[in-house]
Amino acid sequence: MKGNWTGWTGKFIRVNLSAGKIQVEDDKPEWMKEYWGGRGVGIKYMMQEVDPKVDALSPKNKLVFATGPLTGTGAPAGNRCFSVTKSPLTDGIANASVGGYFGAELKYAGYDFIIIEGKAKHPVYLWIDNDNIEIRGASPLWGKGTQETENLIHSATDQDAQILSIGPAGENLVRFACIINGGGTAGRAAGRGGTGAVMGSKNLKAVSVRGTKGIKVAAPESFKKATWESYLAYLEGSPLMAEDLRNYGTICVVESCNDVGALPTRNFQSGVFEGFSKIGGQAFAANFSVRGKFGKACFGCHLGCARLGRVKVAGFDGVAEGPEYESAGSLGSMCGIDDQGEIVKAAYLCNELGLDTVSTGATIACAMELFEKGYLPEEDTGIKLNFGNAKALTYLVPRIASRDGFGRIMAEGSYRMAERYGHPELSMSSKKQEYANYDPRGCKGLGLAYATNNRGGDHIRGELNNDELFAMGMWNRISQGKMGTPEGTRVPPYTIEGKPIMAKGVQDFYGAIDASGMCNFILIIIPTQLFVDLMVSATGVDIGGFEGLMRTGERIFNLERLFNLAAGMTYKDDTLPKRLLEEPMPEGPAKGQVVELWKMLPEYYKLRGWDEKGVPTAKKLKELNISVSARKSN
Amino acid sequence: MSKSIVINPDRCTGCKICELACSFKHHGEFNPSKSRIKVNIFPKEAFFYPNVCSQCVEAWCAKICPASALKRNENTGVIELQVTKCVGCKMCMQACPFGVMGFDSDKGISDKCDLCGGEPECVKYCFYNALQYKEPEVATSHKGRVFAEKLLRSYATEVNR
C-alpha cells in the first residue's frame, strides 16, 4: 500500500508545539486497515501515545484531528473530521466530529490526520498550505470570537483556506468548549467533550488549511456506481430524513420528539413541552430562515440540513447558522424557554464564543433547577434563574465563555456545578457529559447507550432513538434483516428486551461510520452494502464485508473502553442519574416509564464479551486483534 | 441556440458536489481545484454561486488565444479547447472576465468546460436543481416567475376580498 494509497492520502502531520517542530510522517498501513480513520485512528494514536491518566489540560495530552478514507471523496457527505483527545469534561476519551469543509481541505493538502503535541509558549495557529506547514503567532487573535478569527486568518493566509478555531471559551478552558469550522456565521461544531479547551490549553487558537491536490480511489467505476446509488437511496429513503431535514433542518425534530413524549423539558422533569411549536422547525422556517426551504450544506452533502437565519443580538446583526435540533432542545425546552428569538441568539453566541450548545443549555437547565429548588442562591447567579427566563440565555452564555461571575462555576459543566451545590443527581449527564435531547424514559435502548457510550452522555455514538422514536428501520438494516423492525414501525420504545444487543450493534455500526469519513445522516439510511462498497472501492482494502465493517466499529469501541478504564473509569460510571432510573415520566406518551438500566447492563456486558465489571476479556481483545504495545514515551 | 448551464443561486446549498463530479469525470480524481465549475460561498449574505463557463457567443478567451486553440463547435455551441494546439500561455485565463478558465498543471495546458459532450456531469449531480441544462431563451424564466408570484400575491388578495 505504501506510496500507492487510495481513499487515504498516506501521510499525516505531527506537530510538537512545545518544541515548535513539524514532521510529516507516513501512515502505518496495518493501523489504517484496522482503524480506518476519524474516531478510529484517533483512539489508536491516543492509546498508543498518551497515558490515559494525564491531566486532559496538560501538555502531555495530545489532540488528533483525523479525517476518514471517504472524507473529500464523492461519497455523500464525505466531510467528517474528528477531534480526538482526552476530555476535560469526562476525563475519558473525547471524540467530536465536525462537518463543514475542513476535513476535505486537509485531505486535498495531502494529509489524513494531524497529531498535536505539547503546548506553545504563546498563542499560535497552524497554517498548512499543501506541502508548506508553519506555526504562526496568534497573539492578536487571542480573545477573538471564531468569526473574527477566521476573517483575520483568511486575510493573512488564503481566502479559500478552511479553518478550525476556538473562541474565548476554549482559551478560558471551559470544560465544554468546542471547535468551530466556519466561524459564528457558518458555524459547524466539533461540539462535545471539551476538545476546544484542549486546544486552548495548548495555546493553539486555530488550524488553517489550503489544499489543491486530488484524492484517487482504487476502483473508479465501482466507486462511482456506489456513490450514485447512495445518493439516490438516501433520497428514496426515510421520508423524515429526506424531506423534513432538507426542508426544515434538524430543528424539525423538536416537533417529532415532543409528539413521542421524549423532548427533554425543564432539565428532564418532563418529556413534553407546552411551548414546543414555538421553538420548532415550522416556527423557524416562518420567522427566521433567510433561504426558505433551502438550507446550507456541508461539503459533498446533498441533504444540506443546516439552516441560515436572521440573528440580531448585541454586537451582531446578520445571518448565521442554526440552531440545530440539539441546540433548540438544550437552550429551549430543557430550560423551559419558548422564545425562539432568544434561542437563536444564544446558539449564535455559542458558535461565536466556541461553546457546545448541548452542554451549555443543559448546564443552564441544571442551574435553573438548582435555583428553583432553593439549592443555588441568587447572590451566586446574579439573576433570578427560573425556568422560562429567556433573557438568562444571552446573559449567561458570554459569562460562561469568559468564566465571569457565576460563569466561572458553570464553565465546569453541570455535574461539577451541581456537586458543588450538593446535588450532583440533578446533573442530567453520564460520565459528567450532558445528554442530548432524547429522554431515555421514552426510548429505553437509548438509555443503555447513554450509560455505556465511551464519551459519556450523548446520542450520536449509538442512536437507538432512530428506531425507538422515529421508525427508521436502522437496526433492521444493521442486523441484516434478522432483528429490529422494518422502516415505518417503531421498535417498541418502552421494552427492554432485545435492547442490549441492539445497543451493541448500533454502537459498533456508528464506530464504523465515524471511522469512514462520512456523515451518519447518510449511512443510517442507505443499504449497508453500499457502505461496504464505498469503503472497498475507495480504499482497495478488503474490509471483510459487512461483518468486517462491524468488527472495525467494535474494535474502536473496545479500544475506547480500554482508554476509559485506564483513565480510571469503572463499570460504576455506566449509569444514568436517579431521575431517569427511578422517577417515572410524569406525563405524555411515555408517562409512568423509567429506564430499567440494571436489567439491561449484565446482558449488554455479556454480549460485548466483557466481564461482570465491564472489562473486555482477553478473549474478546484477541478476537478483535487489539494489542496495546508499549506506549511510546514522550 | 444550443443549451448551456443555467445557474439558479437561490437553490444552491454550497455542497460542492458539482466540483467533485466535474473533477472526477475530467481528471479521474476528487479535487475541487481542478473542477471546471466552482462554487462561491458567502454565508454572511446567505448567497451561493456556482461559477462555470457560459460558452460566450463572443468568447474573449478564443479571441485572445495566440495559438487558435479555442474554437466554437458550431454544432454544439461549445468553445472547445484543442489540446494539441494549446501552448499553455494562460492568456485565456486573463481574458475571461468570469474567471472560469482553468489550467491543468500536469499537462501544461488550459482546462475548460466542454459541457461533457451534451450531458453535463455537474447538472446530473446537482440534487437541488441549482444547475440546469437549458436553452438560453428560457434561462432566466424562473426569475420572472418568482417576480410574477409576488405580484400574484397582491392580486390574489384583491380578488379574494
Q: Identify whether the C-beta of residue A67 lies closer than 8 Å to the C-beta of residue A41.
A: no
Q: How far apart are CA B149 and CA B153, in angstroms?
A: 6
Q: Write out residues 92-111 of B within 8 Å (CB-CB) of A.
A: none
Provide the number of structural domains found in chain B.
1
pLDDT tens digits, one per residue of A42-85: 999 999 999 999 999 999 999 999 999 999 999 999 999 999 99
Q: Which domain holds residue A463?
A: 440-525+542-623
Specify if B157 maps to a domain: no
**Residues A480, A458 within the same domain:** yes
Specify if A530 maps to a domain: no
pLDDT score of B156 more than 80: no
Specify if A400 maps to a domain: yes
**Residues A567, A614 within the same domain:** yes
The CATH number of residue A454's host domain is 1.10.599.10
Domain boundary among A434, A452, A470: A434
Specify the residue for cell string 466481564. Answer: A611
Specify if A33 maps to a domain: yes
pLDDT tens digits, one per residue of A481-499: 999 999 999 999 999 999 9
**Residues A206, A250 within the same domain:** no
Specify if B156 maps to a domain: no
**Residues A419, A478 within the same domain:** no
**Residues A43, A175 within the same domain:** yes
**Residues A401, A464 within the same domain:** no
Whether the CB of B112 is below 8 Å from some CB of chain A: the reply is no
pLDDT tens digits, one per residue of B34-50: 999 999 999 889 999 99
Beta bridge partners of B108: none
pLDDT score recorded for residue B146? 85
pLDDT tens digits, one per residue of A213-247: 999 999 999 999 999 999 999 988 776 677 888 88
- Mean pLDDT value across chain B: 93
Name which of A106, A223, A245, A291 to mutate to probe chain B: the one with the most chain B Cβ atoms within 10 A of its Cβ.
A291
Whether the CB of B47 is below 8 Å from some CB of chain A: the reply is no
Q: Read off the pTM.
A: 0.97
Contact A73 B31 (CB under 8 A): no
**Residues A173, A296 within the same domain:** no
- Dihedral sign for Cα atoms in the order A157, A159, A164, A165: positive
Specify if B102 maps to a domain: yes
Contact B127 A216 (CB under 8 A): no
CA angle A54, A57, A59 (to 5 degrees): 70
* Nearest chain A residue (CA) to B47: A291
SS3 state of residue A165: strand
Specify the residue for cell string 517542530. Answer: A21
Specify if B142 maps to a domain: no
At A234, which amino acid appears? Answer: Y
**Residues A409, A495 within the same domain:** no
The CATH number of residue A337's host domain is 1.10.569.10
pLDDT tens digits, one per residue of B123-146: 999 999 999 999 988 888 888 888
Beta bridge partners of A317: A312
Specify if B111 maps to a domain: yes
At A74, which amino acid appears? Answer: G
Q: Torsion angle of alpha carbons A212, B38, A75, A508, nearest 10°?
A: 70
Whether the CB of B119 is below 8 Å from some CB of chain A: the reply is no
Q: How far apart are CA A73 and CA B85, in angstroms?
A: 33
Q: Identify whether the C-beta of residue A43 lies closer than 8 Å to the C-beta of residue A84.
A: yes
B contacts of A215 (beta carbons < 8 Å): 29-31
**Residues A357, A382 within the same domain:** yes
Specify if B107 maps to a domain: yes
**Residues A444, A430 within the same domain:** no
Q: What is the ipTM of this complex?
A: 0.95
Specify if B101 maps to a domain: yes
Specify if B99 maps to a domain: yes
Binned at pLDDT 50, 70 and 90, residue A634 comes out as very low
Total residue length of chain B: 161
The CATH number of residue A58's host domain is 3.60.9.10
Q: How far is A521 from chain B (nearest CA, A)?
A: 15
Specify if A56 maps to a domain: yes
Whether the CB of A294 is below 8 Å from some CB of chain B: the reply is yes
pLDDT score recorded for residue B139? 85
Provide the number of structural domains found in chain A.
3
The CATH number of residue B51's host domain is 3.30.70.20
Give φ, ψ of A567 to 5 degrees.
-75, -10
Domain boundary among A404, A434, A464: A434
**Residues A325, A417 within the same domain:** yes
Q: Which domain holds residue B100?
A: 4-134
**Residues A485, A426 within the same domain:** no
Q: Identify whether the C-beta of residue A394 lies closer than 8 Å to the C-beta of residue A349.
A: yes
DSSP assignment of A593-632 equals ----HHHHHHHHHHHHTB-TTSPBPHHHHHHTT---PPPP
Domain boundary among A210, A229, A248: A210
